[in-house]
Amino acid sequence: MPGRWEGPWEGRLEKWRDLLFNPYLLPVARPYSITVETINTCNAKCIFCPYPYNISARERGIMSMPLFRKIVDDYAEWGGGNLCLTPITGEILIDKHLEERIDYARSLSPIKTIEFYTNGLLLDGDRLENLFARGVTRLFISVAGHDRESYRQLMGVDRFQRFCANLEAIHATALRLGRLTSVTIAVRTQLELESYRQTTFYREHLQRFPQVDLINRFSTWGNSIELARLPIPLTAASLGEEHRHRMQRLKCPCAIHYGVSGGMMITWNGVVSYCGCRDFMGNTDLVIGDASRESLVDIWKSPAKKRIVAGFERGEPPLFCQQCDKYTPMTRMNRLQRIRRLLGRGGW
């Protein structure tokens, strides 16, 4: 069956719709969120994450406090917004400076919200209460599988019981504090979603949370993970020619940089990537600067960043993006969500 925009109208309807509804036509003065990767070590080895396959390929490290303060100061002076502390691959709660970083960021009023993903293995009720008290706005707790065996198979560690115990404490604490809606459970499963909702784990542990995101597709992270290793890979079509044609046809930069799903990323040693979502090595053609030497504003306006945007606009996106299944064209940015984000009320 032909797709919605195929046939003689292919491209034209999208073009007119984008002209009429495209928030990209409005200037985006600064990112509504930045991602600061303070640590790139993890205590899990998920088979759908590039981390276990690239442990030795990337230097491990923790961001120094002076560099962290410099980055957050830059962002606050620029106008601030959301601070995302999710490492591209890593577990934030291993970072022994985390609480100190949150305190510092919260001392700067332009930093409106702080959020991050965690696998929850180091999160009990006391720590959650402490994080909320210090000013964390939202937490996403990621889990894969539905019992000890599927958890071990997908997450690469045998810690399902520990996770369940933590989740109990997290629920009780968030409920007591009236912060249940500040916690989202992000689930990966190899089951059909309806089957997953019938599992004991879902019924006894997860469905009490108001926000549960279920996903049963797995990315290759730009062909960094062999398709054969993934339980249910995204279709080849989404990674292949069709995907590239879509980028070429839309001629539109990826919105990740501007604040969707984290905004541009600063790695633990200061490398700045256009992408806060997929550039897990921080050494691709998406690198646009070094936050230890340059201000974030200068990097945002840098020739390297302009080259990437111009490449998208010519239909020649960066090589790394051509393999990416997470492409989010600016035309898909929802105005309402942008306004919500500006008001510090979430979105994306």
Place of tokens 């009236």: 178
Is 266 one of the binding residues for ligand SF4 (CB under 6 A)? no
Asked whether position 320 contacts ligand SF4 by CB under 6 A, the answer is yes
Q: By C-beta, is 111 or 170 nearer to ligand SF4?
A: 170
What single string gives the DSSP state of each residue in 158-169?
S-HHHHHHHHHH
DSSP state letters, 333-345? --HHHHHHHHTTS
H runs (alpha helix) in 107-147: 125-134
Judged by CB under 6 A, the stretch of 15-23, 45-53, 76-84, 100-108 that binds ligand SF4 is: 45-53
How far apart (Å, rounded) are the C-alpha atoms in residues 201 and 150? 11
d(CA 197, CA 214): 9
Among 63, 71, 324, 330, binds ligand SF4 (CB under 6 A): 324
Q: Please work out the total of residues on this chain that contact ligand SF4, with binding judged by CB under 6 A.
A: 21
Q: Which is nearer to ligand SF4, 111 or 141 (CB)?
A: 141
Question: Greatest CA span in the chain, whole angstroms?
Answer: 60
Task: Give the binding range for ligand SF4 (CB under 6 A) out of 7-15, 55-63, 88-96, 293-301.
Answer: 88-96
Q: Are 112 and 344 in contact (CB under 8 A)?
A: yes
User: What is the C-alpha to C-alpha distance for residues 96 and 29, in angstroms, rounded to an integer?
Assistant: 34
44 interacts with ligand SF4 by CB under 6 A: yes
Q: Which of 35, 82, 89, 173 binds ligand SF4 (CB under 6 A)?
A: 89
Neighbours of 307 (CB within 10 A): 14
**Smaller CB separation from ligand SF4, 112 or 267:** 267
Sign of CA dihedral 120, 125, 128, 130: negative
46 or 291: whose CB is closer to ligand SF4?
46
Give yes or no for residue 209 binding ligand SF4 (CB under 6 A): no
**Residue 204 CB neighbour total at 10 angstroms:** 12
For ligand SF4, give the closer residue by CB, 111 or 163: 163
CA dihedral 330, 332, 335, 341 (to 10 degrees): -80
To ligand SF4, the closest distance from the beta carbon of 300 in angstroms equals 15
Residues of this chain, 267-296, that bind ligand SF4 according to CB under 6 A: 274-275, 277-278
Residues 102-121, interacting with ligand SF4 (CB under 6 A): 119
**Integer Cα distance of 280 and 186 in angstroms:** 19
How far apart CA 269 and CA 64 sit, in angstroms, is: 8
**Binding ligand SF4 by CB under 6 A: which of 81, 90, 262, 263?**
90
Q: Tell me the pairing of strands 211-215 and 287-290.
A: unpaired
Of the pair 118, 173, the CB lying nearest ligand SF4 is at 118
Q: Does the protein bind ligand SF4 through residue 218 (CB under 6 A)? A: no
Q: According to CB under 6 A, which one of 34, 39, 42, 212 is a site residue for ligand SF4?
A: 42
State the minimum distance, in angstroms, from the CB of residue 73 to ligand SF4: 25
Residues 161, 127: Cα–Cα separation, whole Å: 18
Minimum distance from residue 317 beta carbon to ligand SF4 (Å): 7
Q: Encoding tokens for residue 242? A: 């069709």
Q: Is 217 in the site for ligand SF4 (CB under 6 A)?
A: no
Contact flag: residue 225 with ligand SF4 (CB under 6 A): no
Q: Which letter does DSSP use for residue 186 in this model? A: E
Q: How far is the CB of 107 from ligand SF4 (least distance, A)?
A: 28
Smaller CB separation from ligand SF4, 42 or 84: 42
Residues found near ligand SF4 in the complex (CB under 6 A)? 42, 44-46, 49, 51, 89-91, 119, 254, 256, 274-275, 277-278, 320-321, 324, 326-327
